[in-house]
Amino acid sequence: MPDGARSDASEAKRSDNAHRAAQLHLVTPGGGFFAQDILAEDAPEWERELAKSLLAGAQLRAARANHGAKDRRLGTSLGKYERLMQVLPSMRNFEPLRFEGDLETSERNEILLIVIAEFIRRQPKATGDLVKGDTISGQVSGIKAIVAEHLGRPILAPTGGKTLARELQQMRLEDGPSADRALSLPLRGTHLDALALTSSGFDVRSPGWPTARYALLRTMHQGLLRGGEPGTLPGEPFRPAHGVCWGDFTWHDIATGTLLTQRDATTGALHWVLIVRVRGIKDVMGKHKKVPITIASKHPANGASGRDVTCTYFAVLRLWEERGGLVPHDARGSAPFFVGPDGSTPVDTGVALGAITDAARALGLNASAFGSSACRRGGATDLRDKLGSAAGKQIIVQRGRWCATDIDEIYSRSSLGEHVTASVALSAGGGARSLEQVVPGWVQPTHFGR
């Protein structure tokens, strides 16, 4: 049976959570939603055995529906609840709502959640810092989710939870503004070009990991890839539906069978073209198909530049030619293309980050300032720099597999050149008047009617 993108570690964590929740009386073994009988009282024994098997299978499947990250968060929530039960062992249990608008039971459950939130707030972090309101909200929600999933129904009424919300709101007000995002610099195309210089000491030509590492970096930059998208997340098995496989590459024109080419709309020059399909790592529910990313040769197909080592198209082609004979054609639909230094283990976020920090150190940069999305940031920034913020917006969103149309403004970095141009414009006098200056009573709305 398909595993639903769950690793052995996730399954072990789920089982541990279930055991701990039972010990804390948050759930009742053999009780809850799946304890219902689906047969008439006079059903024969063989039907009861079959029904029992079906319900047990359904219960296990429902319990495994969480993504692995949620199981880890639930484990943290249980840890806080365990500490509370050590000091308040007589605290009563949560109760299921008797009906959807059961405010009486909802309030009895809400006061328990409020006490849990207050207890967590008073417990310092391991570093001695205050536990933030957003963190507490997530941990309280974790406890609520454990009970609700077991019962198969909410424990707060739709109109309930107002006091709990006010408690959490006040905690956030006490926390003050959120801290700044951690510094994470972009790895730009010029950086990747500089790595190919002999003076960098960064090997991009030798067979094996040097060739694979450089192809990985250039593909991540061209495709705006997150660290886990070429392969997998740390500790997770490789899944063909998630990571980049050999079968995700298209080199030939489907109609003609010849190598795929396309003319540049601006210069008219003909370029070699490669298509690689990538799935967004945040699509944890597997709702979307892999997105085709176009990688064109750096130089025209009829040019005299040859196989420029800094060209992403030929960096990938070198790796394809080097390892192609090791992967049978019938296995290419599921075999990982990007593998690590050992030549067989699929790359994960940690390996991608290692390649990025190796590159940063080779360039004399502060490696600690670069994260696993450095190539993604660098690619988005380069697109904005070349195409401009407005013109490049849609292509950045599509190429980066973003669903929000303003996310490019978070990842792409404005350039000094942009701001110099803006400063010069601000220093220039004159300019047309605004409509509000010439149209009496007109104030521009935040949104125009459609």
pLDDT at 179 over 70: no
Task: Tell me the CB-side half-sphere exposure of residue 229, using CA atoms within 13 A.
Answer: 28
CB 258 within 8 A of CB 268: no
Report pLDDT for 337. 97
List, for residues 226-250, the tens digit of each pLDDT value. Answer: 999 999 988 888 989 889 999 999 9
Q: Write out the E strands in 205-281.
A: 249-250, 261-263, 270-278
Average pLDDT, the chain: 86
Pairwise CA distance, residues 216 & 319, whole Å: 10
Q: What percent of the chain has pLDDT over 70?
A: 86
Question: C-alpha distances in angstroms, 301 versus 24, 249, 289?
Answer: 67, 19, 31
What is this structure's pTM?
0.74
Residue 321 has pLDDT above 90, yes or no: yes
- State residue 115's pLDDT score: 96
Residue 162, SS3 per DSSP: helix
Residues 99-108 have pLDDT tens digits of 999 999 999 9
Are 356 and 374 spatial neighbours (Cβ–Cβ below 8 Å)?
yes
What's the rounded mean pLDDT across residues 395-424?
62
Q: Is the pLDDT of residue 439 over 80?
A: no
Interval 16-67: pLDDT, tens: 999 999 999 998 888 889 989 999 999 999 999 999 999 999 988 888 888 7
CA distances from 340 to 325, 389, 407 (A): 18, 35, 30
What's the pLDDT score for residue 435?
59
Q: Are 221 and 312 in contact (CB under 8 A)?
A: yes
Phi, then psi, of 317 in degrees rounded to 5: -60, -40
**Length of the chain, please?**
450
Three-state DSSP class for residue 223: helix
Instruction: Categorise residue 84: left if φ over 0, alpha if ψ from -120 to 50, beta otherwise.
Output: alpha
CA–CA separation, 33 vs 150, rounded Å?
A: 6
Mean of pLDDT values over 195-217: 96
Asked if pLDDT for residue 428 goes beyond 80, the answer is no
Please, which pLDDT band fits residue 68 given cuts at 50, 70 and 90? confident
pLDDT at 427 (0 to 100): 55
Q: Strand runs (DSSP E) across 25-157, as ranges?
A: none
Residue 45: what pLDDT? Answer: 94
Which one-letter DSSP state was computed for residue 93?
P
pLDDT in tens, 114-167: 999 999 999 888 788 889 999 999 999 999 999 999 988 999 999 999 999 999
pLDDT of residue 407: 54
Query: Measured between alpha carbons, how far is 400 from 377 in angstroms, rounded to an integer?
Result: 10
Residues sharing a CB contact under 8 Å with residue 236, sequence separation 6 or more, in sequence order: 5, 7, 68, 348
Q: Which tens digits make up the pLDDT trace of 288-320?
A: 788 888 898 888 888 766 688 999 999 999 999
> In this structure, how many other beta carbons lie within 10 angstroms of the beta carbon of residue 13?
19
Split at pLDDT 50, 70, 90, the class of 381 is: confident
| 239, two tokens | 């899944």
For helices 209-223 and 374-387, the axis angle rounded to 10 degrees is 50
Round to whole Å and give the CA distance between 240 and 300. Answer: 33
pLDDT score, position 172: 93
pLDDT confidence of residue 50? 96
Which candidate, 379, 3, 79, places its Cα nearest to that of 217? 379
In the chain, what are the domains?
Answer: 8-30+66-175 (no CATH), 189-411 (1.10.443.10)
Per-residue pLDDT band for 450 (boundaries 50, 70, 90) equals very low
First to last CA, the chain: 49
Q: Nearest to residue 310, comparing CAs of 191, 188, 190, 196?
A: 196
Q: What is the mean pLDDT of residues 280-295?
A: 79
